[in-house]
């Protein structure tokens, strides 16, 4: 496997992880629950800052 295809696979995997985290955080907020810290961090949101919202 070439380096180019490994990089492409890593980028695709990262994109799926970000989309999954976004869906999870969105569903949690919609259902009045607190999202998981790991999902917030995947999206670049500081969990402590999220707690100060609202």
pLDDT tens column, 1-54? 556 656 667 889 999 999 999 999 999 999 999 999 999 999 999 999 999 986
Q: Is residue 28 part of a domain?
A: yes
Its sign, for the CA torsion 26, 13, 10, 48, is positive
Residue range of the domain that includes 44:
20-54
Q: Is residue 48 part of a domain?
A: yes
Q: Is residue 43 part of a domain?
A: yes
**Interatomic CA distance for residues 52 and 17, integer angstroms:** 25
Number of domains in the chain: 1
User: For residue 52, what pLDDT is reported?
Assistant: 93
Q: Is residue 3 part of a domain?
A: no
């Amino acid at each position: 496997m070439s380096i180019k295809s490994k990089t492409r696979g890593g980028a695709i995997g990262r994109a799926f992880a970000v989309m999954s985290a976004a869906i999870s955080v969105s569903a949690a907020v919609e259902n009045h629950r607190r999202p998981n810290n790991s999902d917030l961090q995947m999206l670049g949101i500081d969990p402590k800052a999220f707690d100060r919202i609202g």
